[in-house]
Amino acid sequence: MNRVLEVLICIVAGVLALPFFLLACLVVARTLGRPLFFTQPRAGLHGRMFLLHKLRSMSDARDADGALLPDVDRQTAATALLRRLRLDEVPQLLLILKGDMALVGPRPLLPETIEAFAAAGQTRCSVRPGLTGWSQVSGNTALSNDEKLQLDLWYVAHRSLGLDIQILIETIGVALGGERRRHDRINQAARWLAAEGYPTLQESPA
């Protein structure tokens, strides 16, 4: 996406989202307490690390052995809604303006996760990580990690302004209507990766 267009969209989105984000901050303060924000290093373009900032949406609740409980058990009904509406990710608009992220691209992952992907991780990091992406509008949490990687690699090879606009529009639909596995896209990515010589999973049942 053209950088000027990306910046303009970020500014407009930030202005529109600001009142709702401030309300979300109040919700987090009342339900989870402080700190309000979650910060973690992530791998960016060409593997360069940057700090990702999100509004905190989960507690640090742990089991008897000290391990974190599953995500669903650490959210409240209110913070789960904030995550669905992507209000927890509003701070990342500043990272887009800074140039660490893009509006559309593979979601930023931990450096060790990218390293474990080997050559596929390098390909995935050949573009800036995005606020939303092809995986996020094709199933997101309903996808396996391997399926997300395949969709991300397909996006990197086929990205265009038209595709980015489609993803932005579909992101709004996902926020309002919920996530849905797109078997057609999963299978498309798997077939393309097989043709390119990448190891792939079996096709997803329709």
Convert the pLDDT of each residue in 157-192 to its tens digit. Answer: 999 999 999 999 999 999 889 899 999 999 999 999
pLDDT of the residue at 201: 52
Average pLDDT of span 109-114: 94
Spell out the domain ranges in the chain.
Answer: 1-105, 133-206
pLDDT of the residue at 59: 84
Which of 4-8, 30-34, 97-101, 103-107 is least confident? 30-34
The confidence band for 200, taking pLDDT boundaries of 50, 70 and 90, is low
- Cα separation values, 95 from 6, 40, 51, 52, 201, Å: 12, 13, 9, 8, 33
Q: Of 45, 6, 36, whose CA–CA distance to 156 is shortest? A: 45
Q: Tell me the per-residue pLDDT of 16-73, one tens digit each, with 9 for 90 and over.
A: 999 999 999 999 999 888 899 999 999 999 999 999 999 998 888 888 777 888 878 8
Q: How does the average pLDDT of the chain come out, rounded? A: 91
End-to-end Cα, the chain, rounded Å: 32
pLDDT of the residue at 69: 83
Q: Tell me the per-residue pLDDT of 150-159, one tens digit each, with 9 for 90 and over.
A: 999 999 999 9
pLDDT of the residue at 18: 95
Question: What pTM was estimated for this model as a whole?
Answer: 0.86
- Cα separation values, 60 from 33, 34, 142, Å: 11, 11, 23
pLDDT of the residue at 165: 96
Chain centroid to Cα 36, Å, comes to 19
pLDDT of the residue at 199: 62
Q: Tell me the per-residue pLDDT of 130-144, one tens digit each, with 9 for 90 and over.
A: 999 999 999 998 999
Q: Give the span between the Cα atoms of 120 and 139, in whole angstroms.
A: 20
